[in-house]
Structure 1
Amino acid sequence: MKTQDSIPTSKVARATQFLKTGAKIGGNYLKYNVKKIIDPTTTREELHQDNATDVYESLSELKGSALKVAQMLSMDRSVLPRAYVDKFQMSQYSAPPLSGPLVVKTFRNFFGKAPHELFDQFDINAANAASIGQVHQAFKNGKKLAVKVQYPGVADSISSDLKMVKPMAVTLFGLNEKDVERYTEEVETKLLEETDYDLELRRSVEISEACKHIDGLIFPKYYPNLSAKRVLTMDWLDGFHLKDFLQTNPSQEVRNRIGQLLWDFYDHQVHSLRQVHADPHPGNFLMRADGTMGVIDFGCVKVIPDYFYDNYFTLINPDTLDDDPLIEKIFYNLEFLVKEDKPSEKALFKDLFKQMIVMLGKPFAVDEFDFGDHTYFDSVYAFADELAKVEEIRNSKVARGSKDGLYINRTYFGLYSMLNELGAKVKTTRPDWLRSKKEMELMS
């Protein structure tokens, strides 16, 4: 794989890269419009493909928060055209890696030594590379290790990068400016946490310990003496990322087993720990033929505030939808509705959010759910397409939904998406208070 010898770190250099990308996108639109005049049957697919390639190549060179936002957007197939989703998914573990000299420089900055002086063996070529850092294989005292090295300048460029990403997201992807603004505020906070490997080390140990009782989940051991603010060392875990795993043609039983592990992992974090591994993309899970699964990368952890947890999950209980005063109160608490809404807007958004809750809450309404049911996901994407056409939503100047919901929604979208790709049937365990009174009576 081609390596990268330098990363633009100054604001001017990074802004210049964004401007170059903007110029390429403008050229792609010009090319598309000319083709459309010559051949009216020309579709926007080629335009999306060209733009997706140019945007991804640019963000890959910049690394950091810009590439991370692309990765996050790729997890929600209802937001972006397929060309962007396919391209941006590469940022999960296939971004161009840094060259050896930059890796050595990082080690000297934090340890005063080159990596080969710290480890018995250290592969200077990255095993995989993502948005914030890349992973190298190493050995020490007979142990096989994974060493995550953060890209230079990532932490310092987060705020300025997001300011530059915002207009691109609004114009290129047609996203609501107010929503993007609120989104980037929460993203900035989380990205600053993700670049702090000292914090990730503490969270990794804490959550791994709290989830070790889930039979079949494998967590690495972490090594503080070989870690620093921009370097994190842990045991090497073997396994396949989701797409590679599916190419081994696993049995339905094994898919179900891994799907159940994913569900149980998130169920325990959300409802027992009230904090969650909020980066559920395939690059963070290593699946094995025996139905076990390794879990890595606790850089992005969302602590769930009590007010949000109580309101958000009350909506999952089917009884709530029959209690109009309660659901209206929750919609205001979660900022789905705002006091400035006109009666017509209130009625519209209340109805739309109720439909959304019923649809996205379906897995919670049964004891076992078939995530391989493509008709369910087709209906979710169709609903998202319909929402995009609602004029009141497109023209709304209000960003709806609590900012605390951004990473929780992202977590469930990512979880649902992986379970769908696995085609897994899962026992959707949940706390009893999320069940309807009728369901509880049948269970008693």
Structure 2
Amino acid sequence: MKIQTSVPTSKVARASQFMKAGVKVGGNYIKHYSKKLMDPSLSKDELHKDNAADIYDALSELKGSALKMAQMLSMDRGLLPVAYSDKFTMAQYSAPPLSGPLVVKTFKTYFGKSPSQLFDKFDIDAVNAASIGQVHVAWKDGKKLAVKVQYPGVADAVTSDLRIAKPLAVRLLNLNERDIDRYMGEVESKLLEETDYDLELKRSIEISEACAHIPGLVFPKYYSELSSKRILTMDWLDGLHLKEFMRMNPSQAVRDQIGQALWDFYDFQIHTLRQVHADPHPGNFLMRANGTMGVIDFGCVKVIPDFYYDNYFRLVNPDTLEDAELTEEIFNNLEFLTPDDSLKDRQFFSDLFKEMTLMLAEPFAVDEFDFGDDRYFKKVYAFAEGLANVQELKNSKVARGSQDGLYVNRTYYGLYAMLNELKAKIVTTKPEWLRSKKLVA
């Protein structure tokens, strides 16, 4: 495995990495269109694969918010060509790790001691490296521990990284600049929170204790005396990430059990705690053959404002869309519709968001839902792809949807995607007021 001996920390050095990726991508386009002159039927598959590799290589050296963006994009199957999402998935738990001397330097900065002075044994080689930090195995007083060490300079570079990354996302990934600007503040605040391990320690303890009663979930114990603003120590949890777990060919019963625990975990956080583990990618869950699952990494937590919660979940109730007046009120509150919309635009976007809501809320409209039904997901992905060609959206002068929806929607998207990969059939528990009257009847 490639070992990284340094991380670019200055604005100039980090900007140079983005420029290097841009130059490589430009060369890939020249190569592609040169080949296309010889073979007009040539697809863009090879181009996407080359671009994905070059962009990922650049972002993985930068670590932090740049690599986190790749991780987030990898979860959006309908947003990017498959080559991008497949490559960017590596950002979830297999980025190039930092070298030993950099790890030791981080410990001395925050504890004044080396890892070997703090622990009975510390493995200097990381077992897992992701976007914000990497994980090492350690032992103390007979306990096996997981020690997360943040990459140097990550916290200081968040704001400048996002500024530099914006034009790259617009040009190379064909994202809408207005949408990026609208949600940049929300993304920036969450990324800054993720670099604050003191905050993560507090949230990890609070949420894991609050959710400890949910069957099938296992949470580590956290150690404040061995943690700091850039280092976080917890019990080591055994288990497999989702793809590895599925290769073990678990039974339907075990997959359903883990899927139910996942659903119940998010149901309780959202509707009872009103704050949620908003990073539901496979790198944060460890699955076991006995149907239990370890939950780690509470760095990204979305606190859901009451106003947004009330409107969003009223809309999720299938009965709401049958009340045209109430639906329009909620669409206005959630900023799907704007005061400047013409009557024609209001009708168009109302119909569009009704269709979208009905589709994404299907699991809530029944008591049991089979997330292994690929027909449902093909329908969702086809709808998402179709949105990219809707001229009214392309030409809209405003980005639609509350910024609070960014992480709430991403949470459900990640949850649905994991349940689909598990092929789990689950009971869709929900607050009683969220149940359709048709279900009650």
* TM-score bracket relative to the smaller structure: over 0.9
**Matching of residue 187 in structure 1 with residue 187 in structure 2:** yes
1:210 maps to a residue whose letter is A
**Matching of residue 43 in structure 1 with residue 43 in structure 2:** yes
1:433 maps to a residue whose letter is W
**Matching of residue 68 in structure 1 with residue 68 in structure 2:** yes
* Ranges in structure 2 where 5+ consecutive residues have no aligned partner: none
User: Are the equivalent residues in 1 in contact too, given 2:366–2:439 (CA < 8 A)?
Assistant: no
Give the match for residue 305 of structure 1.
Answer: 305
2:77 maps to a residue whose letter is R
My pick for the range that moved more, 219-228 or 175-184, is 175-184
Give the match for residue 403 of structure 1.
Answer: 403
TM-score of the two chains, using structure 1 as the length reference: 0.99
**Matching of residue 371 in structure 1 with residue 378 in structure 2:** no
User: Are the equivalent residues in 1 in contact too, given 2:274–2:303 (CA < 8 A)?
Assistant: yes
Q: Which runs of 4+ in 1 moved over 3 A?
A: none
- 1-side partners of 2:229 and 2:421: how far apart? 35
1:170-208 residue CA offsets vs partner (Å, 9 max, x unmatched)? 111111111111222211000000000000000000000
**Matching of residue 323 in structure 1 with residue 327 in structure 2:** no
In the TM superposition, residue 216 of structure 1 has moved relative to its aligned partner by: 1.2
User: Are the equivalent residues in 1 in contact too, given 2:367–2:439 (CA < 8 A)?
Assistant: no
Secondary structure at the residue paired with 1:294? Answer: strand
- 2-side partners of 1:283 and 1:183: how far apart? 24
1:64 maps to a residue whose letter is G
Number of aligned residue pairs: 441
Give the match for residue 162 of structure 1.
Answer: 162
- 2-side partners of 1:314 and 1:117: how far apart? 54
Secondary structure at the residue paired with 1:253? Answer: helix
Give the match for residue 200 of structure 1.
Answer: 200
In the TM superposition, residue 438 of structure 1 has moved relative to its aligned partner by: 2.8
Give the match for residue 80 of structure 1.
Answer: 80
In the TM superposition, residue 168 of structure 1 has moved relative to its aligned partner by: 1.1
1:105 maps to a residue whose letter is K
Give the match for residue 125 of structure 2.
Answer: 125
TM-score of the two chains, using structure 2 as the length reference: 0.99
1:301-338 residue CA offsets vs partner (Å, 9 max, x unmatched)? 00000000000000111111011111111011000011
- 1-side partners of 2:186 and 2:222: how far apart? 28
Give the match for residue 238 of structure 1.
Answer: 238
* Ranges in structure 1 where 5+ consecutive residues have no aligned partner: none
- 2-side partners of 1:49 and 1:391: how far apart? 28
In the TM superposition, residue 258 of structure 1 has moved relative to its aligned partner by: 0.4
2:152 maps to a residue whose letter is P
1:374-421 residue CA offsets vs partner (Å, 9 max, x unmatched)? 000000001111111111111222111000000000000000000000
Give the match for residue 15 of structure 1.
Answer: 15
- 1-side partners of 2:260 and 2:436: how far apart? 23
Q: Indicate the RMSD between aligned Cα atoms, in angstroms.
A: 0.7
Give the match for residue 435 of structure 2.
Answer: 435
- 1-side partners of 2:188 and 2:313: how far apart? 25
- 1-side partners of 2:350 and 2:172: how far apart? 29
Give the match for residue 282 of structure 1.
Answer: 282
2:120 maps to a residue whose letter is D
- 2-side partners of 1:421 and 1:350: how far apart? 32
Give the match for residue 386 of structure 2.
Answer: 386
- 1-side partners of 2:93 and 2:319: how far apart? 42
- 2-side partners of 1:241 and 1:197: how far apart? 23
User: Are the equivalent residues in 1 in contact too, given 2:196–2:230 (CA < 8 A)?
Assistant: yes
My pick for the range that moved more, 65-74 or 430-439, is 430-439
- 1-side partners of 2:300 and 2:385: how far apart? 29
2:164 maps to a residue whose letter is M
